[in-house]
Structure 1
Amino acid sequence: MTELSEFPGIEHRFEEVTRKKNITYINDSAATIPHAVVQAVKTAQKPVVLITGGTDKNIDFSPLLEIEGQVQTIILLQGSATDKIRRLFDNRGILYKGPFDNLAKAVEAADLAALPGGTVLFSPGCASFGMFQNEFDRGRQFKNIVTAC
């Protein structure tokens, strides 16, 4: 069991990046489907500020409705899937901020919304193409942004 307790985790998969001002920053960039976002939200320390959205893979985003009431703030990244997500949230009256056209602006909005003891969770639930080379580039950019501040 010692080996398991020392396992550092897998990069870009619910990876704790840093803690600042008693706020934990989690990189879950490998979450490219809505079900993964839902699981990440359920796992994260509350209150949660969720950064999500990106490129559409022609999938159903209705599982995201499960996070209603479980997140403090939703921050949307611009992308072809984000329009579908916005319509879904708008139809349910779920509030969000954005969409933001770059990750640094989205992180800045998340920083402003985050509360001590909570989590900023980057769990896109979408493909990364357009704004990023792939989900790993997207995750590295998130980590660079949150550790640079």
Structure 2
Amino acid sequence: MAERILLLNGPNLNMLGQREPEIYGHETLDDVVTLVRKRATDHGLKVDAVQSNHEGDLIDALHRARGTHLGCVLNPGGLTHTSVALLDAVKAAELPTVEVHISNPHAREEFRRHSYLSPAAKAVIAGAGVPGYGFAVDILATHHNEGH
């Protein structure tokens, strides 16, 4: 059975392609999942994809992934800037986690420039658009293959 990564997308990411396309582009969440699954397959991995607009659902998914997944690709959406609880869940899951942002939060409003999640992340990819998700999979696969 192939090893698995968790793809976790937070609030409003179900609206990709519709919400503020001048910032987030025209690709949809389905496009993101397709890209991540393709990239994971290239590395011999499988993907469990979860999107929720509810913080507790994201926390529960991280808890379930502990010990069963080799890592997590996480776009926490707006929870990036507000959620200590999600940070604690990332730490509790003990999974290498790559934080992904489609836009560059540092080029946006001041409040978006702080991430509660970044201190627990293996890497942060911001401003690369949807392809950033693929880079995140590459990072997790490389990390795993190096035996870390």
> TM-score category by the smaller chain?
0.3 to 0.5
TM-score, with normalisation over the residues of structure 1? 0.47
Bigger proportion of residues as helix: 2
TM-score, with normalisation over the residues of structure 2? 0.47
Q: Larger relative CO (CA 8 A, sep 6+): 1 or 2?
A: 1
